[in-house]
Amino acid sequence: MSDYIPPELIVNILSWLPPRSLLRFRCVCKSWCSLISSPNFIDIHTHQLDASSNHNNRILAMRLPPRGVSYRNEVYSLDIDSEVLRVDDESVGIDCPFPIPAELCCTSCNGLFLVCCSVFQGLWNPSIRRKLVLGEYLFKFAAKRRYVSALGFNPKTNDYKVVKIAYEQMGDGSQCNEVRVYSVKEGAWRRITAPVPPYDTVCSMPSNAVINGSLHWIANHGVSGASEFPVINPHVFDTVDDLRINSIMVFDIVEEAFHKIMLPKSLVSIANDKFDKLRLRVIWGSVSVMQYEKFTKLLSIWVMKEYGAVETWSKKFSFDFDFAFGFPWMLGLRENGEMLLPNKDDDVVAYNPITRQSTNLMAGSHKNLCYSTAYKESLGLLLEGERS
């Protein structure tokens, strides 16, 4: 049949299909196998993910090990637009390439997960069961260190990059910071020479705020800290009384350079014990900040309507919610605009910010589960990775 269909039309049709179907279709004929496995087709399929904002949105449900047990291997992939999220004896699990430790932390980009734990560091695509173990990297200092990491995508070179930042407080009070970048296409770590902002504290939670070809973290520094780094469209704020300033640290994946974006005025200077209650996300296609008051259970969501334009920050919603572990975390957005939020009872709730109505989506045995952020199924690592 392909003899009667223009090749470009075949590519266009196949590029909209889910990855698991495409893997099966490689068996149709040699030409389809060659096409679907080609770097050019994988790039086209990856870019189609952005064209469909809610295409194949799923979350991973991971069963945490019980008390006294170090690891467990139980992972399920759930469709966030389903009427219920079911994890029970009839649920189909995913063969996970690593045992799930309690300290597992992961972040996603285009269907790939960056997994960092004591027994595994690498990339994993649960949709097509492919993994890539990252090579060793060495930082120049070996004393007490703090790390932040993230996974991003360079649209100009169609390359995934892992960014790892190491912070160390020296004896004289100065900061010794270093950045390493792992390129999937190059298959190696390298140190970048761009200066690292001297932030005292960077939110250790993985960055899931990937937009405009950049990674974003909430960061904290003294009044004089990080002042030499460019600020995107700085806003004129009143004098900050506190000696601590919060802002967004930005890493440009294409240029491999740092800059910063100012937060809304009311978040620029807040008490240190509230710093870790700020979370960055991309919501409705915009950089957003989730601010949570643990004692009042009040969640506020700030949205920057125009990227980099600080004057476009606005508080969109405020509502009461009792989060699991007392930290604000949004798993994803459903196609109907509802937010997926985990509560203190290990439930996943669909919350409608317009009607302020919430629905418990969980069914089956869902205790001791933790959840990934929403991801989109992709062909990432089809060529670079190995079977997991």
> Over the stretch 91-147, which tens digit does the pLDDT of each residue have?
778 888 877 765 566 688 889 998 877 667 789 999 999 999 987 766 554 556 777
CA 209 – CA 212 distance, rounded (Å): 10
Tokens 């996970």 label which residue? 96
Which long-range contacts link 312-318 to residues 24+ away (Cβ below 8 Å)?
Answer: 313/263, 313/264, 315/264, 316/353, 317/353
H helices within 52-140, ranges in order? none
Q: What pLDDT sits at residue 293?
A: 83
pLDDT top residue among 15 and 53: 15
Pseudo-torsion of CA 53, 56, 57, 60, nearest 10°?
-150
Positive or negative CA dihedral for 379, 380, 382, 388?
negative
Instruction: Select, from the ranges 238-242, 260-264, 312-316, 365-369, the one with the highest average predicted confidence (pLDDT).
Output: 312-316
Q: Are 234 and 268 in contact (CB under 8 A)?
A: no
- Quick one: which of 252, 268, 179, 175 has its CA closest to 218? 268
pLDDT of 243 over the 60 cut: no
pLDDT in tens, 347-361: 888 999 889 898 998
What is the phi/psi pair of residue 273, to 5°?
A: -75, -10
Tally Cβ neighbours within 10 Å of residue 262.
23
**Residue 344 Cα distances to 20, 75, 91, 180, 323, angstroms:** 34, 21, 23, 36, 5
Residue 121: phi and psi, rounded to 5, are: -135, 115
- More reliable by pLDDT, 235 or 247: 247
pLDDT of residue 322: 82
Burial class of residue 178 in the structure, from the number of CB atoms within 10 Å of its CB (0-12 exposed, 13-18 middle, 19+ buried) = middle
**pLDDT computed for residue 116 by the predictor:** 78
DSSP state of 17: S
Please state, as a whole number, how many other Cβ atoms lie within 10 Å of the Cβ of residue 314: 11
Q: Among 37-41, 83-87, 121-125, 250-254, whose mean pLDDT is lowest?
A: 83-87
Nearest alpha carbon to residue 80 among 351, 357, 364, 356? 351
pLDDT-above-90 percentage for the chain: 27
Average pLDDT, the chain: 80
**173 has a pLDDT exceeding 70:** no
Poorest-pLDDT segment among 222-236, 246-260, 326-340:
222-236
Gap between the Cα atoms of 203 and 271, Å rounded: 15
What pLDDT score does 335 carry?
86
Whether residue 189 contacts residue 148, with contact meaning beta carbons closer than 8 Å, is answered with: no
Residue 277: helix, strand or coil by DSSP? coil
Q: pLDDT band at 303, cuts 50/70/90? A: very high
Q: Residues near 266 by Cβ (< 8 Å), separated by ≥ 6?
A: none
Residue 337 phi/psi, 5-degree rounding, is 95, -5
Highest mean pLDDT among 166-170, 171-175, 180-184: 180-184
| Mean pLDDT, range 289-311, rounded to an integer | 89
d(CA 254, CA 250): 12
Share of the chain above pLDDT 70, in %: 78
pLDDT digits (tens, 9 = 90+) for 267-285: 887 665 566 678 888 888 8
Binned at pLDDT 50, 70 and 90, residue 60 comes out as confident
Contact criterion met (CB below 8 Å) for 231 and 211: no
> 């409705």: which residue's tokens?
284
Averaged pLDDT for residues 295-307 = 90
Asked if residue 237 has pLDDT above 70, the reply is: no
Asked if the model's pLDDT at residue 331 lies above 50, the reply is: yes
